[in-house]
Structure 1
Amino acid sequence: MELFGLTVTEYIGYLASLMVLISFTMKDVKKLRLVNMTGCVLFITYGFLMPTLRIGLPIIIANVAIFVVNIYYLTKKTT
């Protein structure tokens, strides 16, 4: 399905990029990580929607790793 010449997959990719960009404008680190994690989930979805897993796998791996790092720092207790 296409809308304005773009597929749903492409819209997800653009939205993921926008979320990551927005996350870098945040001053509050917790909000930055939450918005960035949203971008990661969208990029992971985008990676799975790629025509072949060979194309999407690097996107999936990188964003799963970034997501895990964000979870780690959000749940890490400061002493």
Structure 2
Amino acid sequence: MIFGITYTEWVGYLASVVLIISFMMKNVSTLRIVNSVGALLFVVYGIMLTISWPIIITNGFILLLNVYYLTKKDK
């Protein structure tokens, strides 16, 4: 616990900040990469919450979509 905030909450805050930063990106590829990091952090956060399926499923899907579009051949 740091400053009275649990490690789980820190991961949630970090995920939120990374997600907000991703939407400030002008380059779509950069946006997808940073957004993927945020989504991955939210998946970890959902697991740390003793399995919060809505958070895990939603962000897992977002992560998969980002990876799909980043690796798609015909950009």
Structure 2 length as normaliser, TM-score? Answer: 0.94
> C-alpha offsets along residues 38-60 of structure 1, whole Å, 9 cap, x if unaligned?
0011100000000x32xx11000
Where structure 2 has 5 or more consecutive residues not aligned to the other structure, the ranges are: none
Q: Which residue of 1 aligns with 2:69?
A: 73
Counterpart for residue 63 of structure 1 = 59
5+ residue gaps, structure 1: none
Greater gyration radius:
1
Could you say what the CA RMSD is over the residues aligned between the two structures, in angstroms? 1.1
Tell me which protein shows more strand as a share of its residues.
1
Q: Distance in 1 between matches of 2:34 and 2:8?
A: 20
Q: What count of residue pairs does the alignment treat as equivalent? A: 75
Give 1:30 shift: 0.8
Q: TM-score, normalised by structure 1?
A: 0.90
Q: Does 1:39 align with 2:35?
A: no
Structure 2 counterpart of 1:61, which letter? I
